[in-house]
Chains A and B, each alone.
Chain A
Amino acid sequence: MTARQSVPWIAGAALIALPFVYRDAYHLHILILILIWSFAYTSWSMMGRFGLVSLGHGGFMGVGAYVTALLWNHLGVSPWLGIPVAMAAAAVLAVIVAYPCFRFRITGHYFVLVTLALSGIVLQVITATRDYTGGSLGYTPDRTKGSHLLALQFDDKVTWYLIALGVWALGLVVWRWVDGSMDRYALEAISEDEDAAAAAGVNVTWEKLKITVISALMTSLAGALYCQYQMFISPDTVSGISVSLQMVFAVIVGGLYVSLGPTVGAVITIMLAEVLRIGFGTKAVGWDNLVYGVLLVVFIIFLPKGILGSIIERLKAQPKP
């Protein structure tokens, strides 16, 4: 094993060891949020990197969070069963919307706007069924006393940190798996030119559908995890257009075409929000989004590959000594 190959293993071991050495509750909380959102952003970039820009991922996340919580509260179904059900529901939703889109070749602006309608629908359905979901006031899964494995509720941050770390690593594994598969070449060909890809024997609809379902499954898992960790969800924090845009924003800032790009994006956006919150207190309301928005515009104009993407490109461009 060369030094270069061992870097991910050492970094992974350090991340696992971290909570046992350093257990400041607040810092762990921030790390857990970063890991969960990194996973969600990675899920989005699975599609986004192939030119399938979706603003419907807020919808998938909302389905993941709300189906899990509703099954637990109303039917007493454990999240261990509820999360797979929620993921399946999100996958079915993805197929219902995406299959006709791909079949009838709805691409570009049109695809973005159809998926925008999807996240709009999920948000409105959650708000409209307020008798069950609490509407825009939000929703809390019923608590069990103390840590409870069956209910997937843990009081201590270390357990949550390890769960979030595991899921985040899973996201990176899936990313690498897609990156190394034949599907990646097929999807890259599709994003360049659909007709040419189809003429070369790529099953365009099937390839796009596969990556969409993978992405929807992962996003709904992120939503369910977020719900179980925060124990409070509202339509605005886990569904709708602003969540979708937030995903796009973080990924663009971090870097769309590199595996750790979404993670860098999550670190930057969450740290920024926290620094502003601590620095300005309640006066910070709005400032974080203002900075986000300006950064998003500036990044798209001047640095479309994102921070990490640009750094890696620069390193590669340097002549080897």
Chain B
Amino acid sequence: MTDIFDIYLLEAIVNGILLGGVLALLALGLNLIFGVIDVTWICYAELVMIGMYGMYYLVQYFGLPYYAAAPLTILLVAALGALLHLLVIAPLLSAPPINQLLATGGVLFVLQSFATVAFGIDFRNLGIRLPVLQFADMHFSYSRLLAFAAALIGMVLVYLFMTRTYVGTAIRAISQDRQIMALMGVDTRRIYLITSALGGALAGLASCLLVLQYDIHPFVGLSFGPITFLICVLGGLGNFVGGFVAAFVFAEIISLGGLFSDLEWGYVLAFAFFIVMMFIRPAGLLARRS
């Protein structure tokens, strides 16, 4: 009896790590936007949802292979991110932060209902079923393994971009001091636009990976959107490393909570853990206490 139990436990732990990879990718995109532009995109998961529909139509209607559709989707969502910045965030840059937050809440409504109107509320899926890997009596789906690997590669690429290129350096500099960088001759508007596109591209990558695991419907964003915000806050908004760690902590809680009871209780545990942690470490997991 104990042996079987341990196998399930191990499987849940590994699946938690695999889930953590994608959550970390989502959190990275959101943290990037927050760290640089000081705005929370409440509608971030809805960008992912649009990307998933993009994948669906490219693969199902235009008959593109998965690996050809993925870059197109990433570009599409990156363009969407840039558009969101130009249309909604840019006019509100000097408004109170709460207004920016609520405006992106409005975009959430727009994207959800746009998907409802344009694509209908039917559940769709890509029709690609990847095999399941069997290893020592444990089952892991290839779609999760692929998602984990791709998410890690995506994060490494972003890291290299941020540390090795001029634009990346400028982005990091702006997140440290918004006013001074404009005086140093950096075009902040251009950097903001690039950052938004980059945040969109990360959402696009996430949508390519999540489309393999989730059915697509207009409200799919709600199943991983809220958890992404909590991860970012738990890691400290704008703190990339904190977000990365928090993603795995959360994924483990959900995965292990789901093992002992329903998946919903995993989420309840994760939410409750979040609220308790907010009181113990209000500025994020890795923040030093002042």
Using CB atoms and an 8 Å cutoff, list the residues of chain A in contact with chain B: 51, 53, 97, 100-101, 104-106, 108-110, 112-114, 116-118, 120-121, 124-125, 127-128, 241-242, 245, 248-249, 252, 285-290, 292-297, 300-301, 304
Q: How far is the CA of A202 from the CA of B145 in the complex (A)?
A: 55
A-B contact pairs, 16 of them (CB 8 A): A97-B275, A100-B279, A110-B233, A121-B268, A128-B262, A245-B105, A245-B108, A286-B114, A286-B218, A290-B117, A292-B109, A293-B113, A296-B102, A296-B103, A297-B110, A300-B95
Residues of B close to A248: CB separation below 8 A? 102, 105
Q: How far is the CA of A128 from the CA of B257 in the complex (A)?
A: 12
Shortest CB distance A229–B (Å): 25
Residues of B close to A100: CB separation below 8 A? 278-279
Given the known interface contacts A110-B278, A286-B116, the answer about A249 and B101 at a Cβ–Cβ threshold of 8 Å is no
Given the known interface contacts A106-B278, A114-B275, A118-B275, the answer about A293 and B226 at a Cβ–Cβ threshold of 8 Å is no
Residue from B116, B237, B271 in contact with A289 in the complex, judged by beta carbons closer than 8 Å? B116
* Contact across chains for B222 and A241 when beta carbons are under 8 A apart: yes
Residues of B close to A114: CB separation below 8 A? 233, 274-275, 278
* Contact across chains for B106 and A294 when beta carbons are under 8 A apart: yes
Q: How far is the CA of A286 from the CA of B116 in the complex (A)?
A: 5
Residues of B close to A297: CB separation below 8 A? 88, 103, 106-107, 110
| B31 touches A (CB below 8 Å) | no
| B112 touches A (CB below 8 Å) | yes
Residue from A117, A292, A301 in contact with B88 in the complex, judged by beta carbons closer than 8 Å? A301
* Contact across chains for A116 and B226 when beta carbons are under 8 A apart: yes
* Contact across chains for A301 and B275 when beta carbons are under 8 A apart: no
Residue from B110, B218, B268 in contact with A128 in the complex, judged by beta carbons closer than 8 Å? B268
* Closest chain B residue to A99, Cβ basis: B279
* Contact across chains for A128 and B113 when beta carbons are under 8 A apart: no
Q: Interface residue tally of chain B, by bracket?
A: 35 or more
Give residues of chain B (62-112) contacting chain A, Cβ–Cβ below 8 Å: 88, 91-92, 95, 97-99, 101-103, 105-112
Residue from A53, A121, A290 in contact with B110 in the complex, judged by beta carbons closer than 8 Å? A290
Residues of B close to A53: CB separation below 8 A? 98, 101-102
* Contact across chains for B113 and A289 when beta carbons are under 8 A apart: yes
Chain A's interface: helix, strand, loop or mixed, by majority?
Answer: helix
Shortest CB distance B105–A (Å): 5
Shortest CB distance A60–B (Å): 15
Q: How far is the CA of A121 from the CA of B254 in the complex (A)?
A: 13
* Contact across chains for A293 and B271 when beta carbons are under 8 A apart: no
Given the known interface contacts A113-B230, A118-B275, the answer about A301 and B103 at a Cβ–Cβ threshold of 8 Å is yes
Best-surrounded residue of B107, B110, B261 (most CB of chain A within 10 A): B110
Shortest CB distance B242–A (Å): 14
Best-surrounded residue of A51, A53, A249, A290 (most CB of chain B within 10 A): A290
* Closest chain B residue to A129, Cβ basis: B264
Residues of B close to A113: CB separation below 8 A? 40, 229-230, 233
Shortest CB distance B137–A (Å): 29
What 8 pairs across the A-B complex have the smallest Cβ distances? Answer: A293-B109, A286-B116, A296-B106, A293-B110, A128-B264, A289-B113, A290-B113, A297-B106
Q: How far is the CA of A241 from the CA of B274 in the complex (A)?
A: 17
Residues of B close to A108: CB separation below 8 A? 97-98
Residues of B close to A97: CB separation below 8 A? 275
* Closest chain A residue to B119, Cβ basis: A286
| B8 touches A (CB below 8 Å) | no
Residues of A close to B116: CB separation below 8 A? 285-286, 289-290
Shortest CB distance B265–A (Å): 5
* Contact across chains for B268 and A125 when beta carbons are under 8 A apart: yes
Give residues of chain B (101-137) contacting chain A, Cβ–Cβ below 8 Å: 101-103, 105-117, 121
| B272 touches A (CB below 8 Å) | yes
Give residues of chain B (204-222) contacting chain A, Cβ–Cβ below 8 Å: 218, 222
* Contact across chains for A112 and B113 when beta carbons are under 8 A apart: no
* Contact across chains for B268 and A106 when beta carbons are under 8 A apart: no
Shortest CB distance B203–A (Å): 18
Best-surrounded residue of B88, B97, B114, B275 (most CB of chain A within 10 A): B275
* Contact across chains for B237 and A110 when beta carbons are under 8 A apart: yes
Shortest CB distance B32–A (Å): 15
